[in-house]
Amino acid sequence: MLYAFGFERVGVLVGDLHFVDPAPRKGQEGAEHGVRLELRVLDRGELKGSIYSAQPIAVGQPIWRADFLELVAGRPGSFDRTHHHPKFSGWEPNTRVFDRELSADPLGWLGNKLADLDALVASAGFPPDVVGPDDAETLRGVAPEIVDATRRLLEKVRSGELGNPPRDPALAGAPVSASGASAASGSEPIFIRAGWL
């Protein structure tokens, strides 16, 4: 399941996730599941017809990510693999950052992060104009709804309703590069996405 919250120039995506890395770093072995939240750039296209036509809106480059993950074989509610990625290099996240505040109160931490969009954008290395003039205030107002959606998804992951490997084998496997070619190799992660495009 994937929720999308769109603002003027940025959006927030929240969805369930099942993740397996075939070459994990020490301490990151085993399947993980949970909820992924990303702050993304929204790319608004030109109208394709009259002033009444639907506007193309693409979910563009990632700015920031939080992964509320747990080991599938672990204790539900442990948040043992929960981390964030304060920066991306293009479309690739930098290494996982584990934070005591995040582990202690994941949803409270998320609400605080979403309340300061300008700080998230600055720490990610993006220029301030990537954000629309009203985006920070609007996101602050909607942050409780985003946190609640994250909580509901986590509950569904823990109940086994979401965050499972997809039934369709075509949806399991390596991420696809921009050219459409498989990016799989012995050292690149394999994503099994339940709610992610």
Mean pLDDT, residues 37-60 taken together: 93
| pLDDT, greater one: 120 or 26 | 120
Task: Assign 104 to helix, strand or coil.
Answer: helix
Contacts for 131 with CB less than 8 Å, ≥ 6 apart: 9, 10, 117, 118, 121
Could you give the angle at the alpha carbon of 188 between the alpha carbons of 187 and 194, nearest 5°? Answer: 140
This prediction's pTM? 0.84
State the amino acid at position 100 in one-letter form.
R
pLDDT digits (tens, 9 = 90+) for 144-168: 999 999 999 999 999 999 999 877 6
Any bridge partners for residue 64, and if so which? 39
